[in-house]
Amino acid sequence: MTSFTKAEGIPLYVKIRENLREEIKLGEYKQGEKLPSEDELAIKYGVSRMTVRQGIMDLIDEGLVYRRHGVGTFVAFPHLERDHSRLTNFFESALKEGIKVSAQILTMEVIPAKQKIAAELHIEEGDSVIHIKTLRYTDDVPVTVHDAFIPHKLFASILTRDLKTLENQHLWTILESYGYRLKRAVQRLEAREAGEEIAELLNIDTNAPILYKERTAYADDGTPVEFIFCYNRGDMYSLTVTLER
């Protein structure tokens, strides 16, 4: 048992918090692993359960661990933080955070545009679009299912490209190689629960929280070049928005 006593004006919950932080840093508790219960930690440290809870709540507030109601407290995966006050792509954001990223193309096909997709891309319903479905990873853990639709009439030759090349480049980089420089995007975000297919792809429980996103991206001449449905793991994805008045 590791017994803590209050000394040098340092509260016990702070000592517990920092001890848990160090154990997580050293890999004694790995990402996604469940921590011992509050009762078990209280016995380990020789303190009250409330003192343990106070230390854990600080780590939850930091995002280092997270709690699942009725199940326990788990070590969080690194969050990919997206700055939604700037138009950046997945790979740029990850590079800034020092996170290893990769992508796997699940589907690339030509399909007729449904009404919503056609409206967002300013084409007729039933016109051909290229559908590219990608599973994205951070540190080899699946974090995002990315469903992109681009006008076939503008980017038909993308279908002849090697899939590995497409996986190693963000789609925006490829679109810009056709002369369409990305200028702005309009997107909507909402909290949802993962359906069975998304949960299986992201290796999470069905009905686990996800951050759902729809986005239309426009070139500098105003042409809509991409519309997406995006499903992000709620325990590994966060966003930042700068607000000014």
Edge-to-edge strands, sheet with 209-219: 101-112, 128-138, 141-151, 224-233, 209-219, 182-193
Q: What is the DSSP letter of 76?
A: P
Alpha carbons 46 and 181: distance in angstroms, whole number: 61
Total residues found in the chain within this entry: 245
Q: Spell out the domain ranges in the chain.
A: 12-75, 80-240
41-52: pLDDT as tens digits: 999 988 999 999
For domain 12-75, give the CATH number: 1.10.10.10
Is the separation of the CB atoms in 208 and 216 below 8 Å?
A: no
What pLDDT is attached to residue 244?
66
What single letter denotes the amino acid at residue 132? I
**pTM of the model as a whole:** 0.67
167-210: pLDDT as tens digits: 767 788 888 888 998 888 888 889 999 999 999 999 988 998 89
- CATH class of the domain defined by 80-240: alpha beta
Task: Grade residue 116 by pLDDT with cuts at 50, 70 and 90.
Answer: very high
